């Protein structure tokens, strides 16, 4: 099921084009990362998708329908640092939000347990750490149990422990079946939590695809043996290799998608070749991101 579909979505501010004819789609259950440097158009995109900003041209659909108040109720979002009353407790703050969203008061305890704040529910908001405040914000977005959650830079400003806590929370929410749209400039975080991603730069889409496939394309395997000539002959006959090159005293190969390192090791063992070096190097979104930027300069 398609959750979101955009069609040439564009936003201009006089001479500045913040977003230029953006086309992309998000399917149910995806954890979708909007990836790009500051000023790339991530927040502008989210603002239009939430009807906070009006597109200059183009259109989009939520759940296969024209955006409406009904579809908006199916979306929980955090676009900026949320405003909670500092002297009120987490439970009291969520009661205010529950009334605004017309949510059952009974959903508050469930939500606080989900974001790991139930034990601190009666403490004033002003006593919370930045990470706890961010978790409460996510709780506020989850209060109506929406099928879609939108988060803009959810780990921005957090210390390493806070980043890990928010990352684990997002992963837990995703496992519950919700579709999550996550805007970030932190490549490592997108790689760890997202299933799919899109790269934006200066309002232009450079790439959209699966995180797994993007990383798979970058995997390389290093091998070496005492008899390098015999190793080279064996590798040349192996059908699971896309590319083979020699670097210094090792061979570096790019495997086909279905090729596993264990399969290659077993094949060479059967050829009576004893490896002195075997190392798989996985890909990274950072490398993919930098490659995309260099290709579009």
Per-residue pLDDT, 294: 64
Separation of CA 274 from chain center: 41
In this predicted structure, what is the pLDDT of residue 137? 93
Calculate ∠ Cα 197-146-189, nearest 5°.
30
Residue 185's pLDDT is what? Answer: 82
Chain-centroid distance, C-alpha 264:
32
Concatenating the DSSP letter of every residue in 47-69 gives HHHTTSS--SEEEEEETTB---H
* Separation between Cα atoms, residue 113 and residue 162, nearest integer Å: 17
Q: Are strands 148-152 and 75-78 parallel, antiparallel or unpaired?
A: parallel
Its pTM stands at 0.81
Name the nearest CA neighbour of 112 among 144, 145, 90, 92.
90
In 3D space, the residue among 118, 222, 115 whose CA is nearest the CA of residue 165 turns out to be 115
Indicate the domain borders of the chain: 2-214, 219-281
Contacts 24+ apart (CB under 8 A), 22-28: 22/58, 22/200, 22/203, 22/205, 23/205, 24/198, 24/205, 24/208, 26/2, 26/179, 26/181, 26/196, 27/1, 27/2, 27/3, 27/179, 28/1, 28/2, 28/3, 28/147, 28/179
Identify the pLDDT of residue 10.
96
Which tokens go with 19?
């977003």
What pairs with residue 7 in β-bridges? 59
pLDDT of residue 217: 72
Query: Looking at domain 2-214, which of 3.30.470.20, 3.40.50.300, 3.40.50.180, 3.40.50.11820 is its CATH number?
Result: 3.40.50.300
pLDDT digits (tens, 9 = 90+) for 40-99: 899 999 999 999 999 999 999 999 999 998 888 899 998 876 689 999 999 999 999 999
Taking the chain (297 residues) in runs of 10, the rounded mean pLDDT of each run is 95 92 95 89 93 94 92 88 87 93 91 94 94 93 94 87 90 94 86 91 90 79 92 91 90 86 91 92 72 63
In this structure, whether the domain defined by 219-281 belongs to CATH 3.40.640.10 is answered with no
User: Do strands 2-13 and 204-210 pair parallel, antiparallel, or not at all (unpaired)?
Assistant: unpaired
Rounded to an integer, what distance in angstroms lies between the CA atom of residue 197 and that of residue 21? 18
How many CB atoms are closer than 10 A to CB 278? 16
Burial of 48 (0-12, 13-18, 19+ CB in 10 A): buried
């Amino acid at each position: 099921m398609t959750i979101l579909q955009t069609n040439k979505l564009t936003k201009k501010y006089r001479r500045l084009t913040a977003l230029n004819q953006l086309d992309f789609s998000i399917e149910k259950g995806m954890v979708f990362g909007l990836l790009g440097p500051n000023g790339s158009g991530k927040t502008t995109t989210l603002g239009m998708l939430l009807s906070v900003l009006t597109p200059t041209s183009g259109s989009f659909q939520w759940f296969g329908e024209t955006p409406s108040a009904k579809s908006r109720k199916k979306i929980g979002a955090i676009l900026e640092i949320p405003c909670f009353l500092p002297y009120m407790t987490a439970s009291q703050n969520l009661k205010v939000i529950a009334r605004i969203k017309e949510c059952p008061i009974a959903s508050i305890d469930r939500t606080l347990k989900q974001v790991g704040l139930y034990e601190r529910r009666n403490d004033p908001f002003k006593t919370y750490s930045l990470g706890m405040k961010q978790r409460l914000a996510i709780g506020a977005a989850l209060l109506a149990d929406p099928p879609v959650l939108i988060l803009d830079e959810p780990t921005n400003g957090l210390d390493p422990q806070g980043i890990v806590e928010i990352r684990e929370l997002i992963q837990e929410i995703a496992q519950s079946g919700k579709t999550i749209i996550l805007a970030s400039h932190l490549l490592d975080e997108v790689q760890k939590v997202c299933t799919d991603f899109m790269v934006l730069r200066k309002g232009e889409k450079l790439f959209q695809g699966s995180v797994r496939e993007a990383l798979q394309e970058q995997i390389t395997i290093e091998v070496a043996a005492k008899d390098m000539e015999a190793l080279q002959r064996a590798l040349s006959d192996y059908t699971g290799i896309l590319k083979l090159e020699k670097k210094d005293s090792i061979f570096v190969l790019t495997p086909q998608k279905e090729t596993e390192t264990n399969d290659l090791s077993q094949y060479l063992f059967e050829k009576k070749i004893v490896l002195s070096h075997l190392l798989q190097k996985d890909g990274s979104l950072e490398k993919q991101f930098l490659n995309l930027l260099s290709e579009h300069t």
